């Protein structure tokens, strides 16, 4: 007899452990939780997974997640339609929206340039971004790619391609609020120094 228990349970553990950040032990805990949960609770999870796979796709304009042809942000007529914030993945839109500081549109690239991983400009939604800006109604493009090597390379590539078409800005980076200097790495501290501003 298998030490993993009944075959359906072993399959559930195997599927759960394929999720990012879920190891074997966590997958087992989740599987046993679902086994003990009321049927309606466990089936609701399965139905939610099925529904998101069937109903959620990409916005045809900005490539953010959408339930229909266009996302709720592109459909919102109160947004500033002269500004586009460029992010790597749909999940990057959520923390920016939570700040309530940005009221423009978005453009999701679907990743970052990484020649070592075989991801070139043609694999991202860069051509679509250039087309949107090329229409002539965009004043500013905010590059909010991640502050990583690939994110920086992507931002530089896009900035070069957009030269002369719109104002291109980059999210400031540096020390997080409440951080101690002694705990900051050299790259973060260097970015904070390079991005310093006047307090006048």
Element (H, E) at 34: helix 24-36
The angle at the Cα of 144, spanning 82 to 91, to the nearest 5 degrees, equals 100
180 domain-assigned: no
Residues of the chain with pLDDT below 50 are 1-2
Q: Give pTM, 2 decimals.
A: 0.82
Is 132 found in the same domain as 91?
yes
**pLDDT on residue 177:** 75
Q: What is the CATH number of the domain that holds 150?
A: 3.40.1360.10
**pLDDT on residue 74:** 97
Long-range (24+ apart) CB contacts under 8 A made by 112-119 are 112/88, 112/145, 112/146, 112/148, 112/150, 112/151, 112/153, 112/154, 113/150, 113/153, 113/154, 113/157, 114/150, 114/153
Is 29 found in the same domain as 80?
no
How many structural domains are present in the chain? 2
If DSSP codes are grouped into helix, strand and coil, which group holds residue 25? helix
Is 121 found in the same domain as 85?
yes
93 domain-assigned: yes
Structural domain range at position 39: 8-55
1 domain-assigned: no
**pLDDT on residue 1:** 34
Integer Cα distance of 192 and 18 in angstroms: 38
**pLDDT on residue 172:** 81
Per residue in 156-186, pLDDT (tens digit) is 999 999 999 999 999 887 777 777 777 777 7
């Amino acid at each position: 007899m298998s030490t993993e228990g009944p075959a359906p349970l072993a399959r559930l553990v195997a599927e759960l452990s394929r999720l990012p950040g879920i190891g074997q032990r966590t997958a087992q805990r989740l599987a046993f939780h679902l086994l003990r949960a009321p049927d309606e609770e466990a089936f609701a999870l399965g139905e939610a997974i099925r529904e998101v796979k069937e109903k959620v796709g990409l916005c045809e304009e900005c490539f953010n997640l959408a339930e229909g042809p266009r996302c709720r942000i592109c459909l919102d007529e109160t947004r500033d339609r002269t500004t586009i914030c460029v992010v790597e993945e749909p999940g990057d839109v959520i923390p920016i929206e939570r700040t309530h500081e940005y009221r423009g549109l978005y453009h999701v690239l679907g990743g970052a340039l990484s020649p070592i991983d075989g991801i070139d400009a043609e694999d991202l939604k860069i051509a679509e971004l250039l087309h949107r800006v090329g229409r002539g109604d965009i004043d500013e493009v905010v590059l909010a790619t991640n502050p990583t090597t690939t994110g920086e390379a992507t931002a530089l590539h896009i900035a070069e391609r957009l030269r002369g078409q719109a104002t291109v800005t980059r999210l400031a980076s540096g020390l997080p609020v409440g951080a101690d200097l002694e705990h900051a790495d050299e790259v973060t501290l260097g970015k904070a120094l390079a991005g310093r501003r006047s307090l006048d």
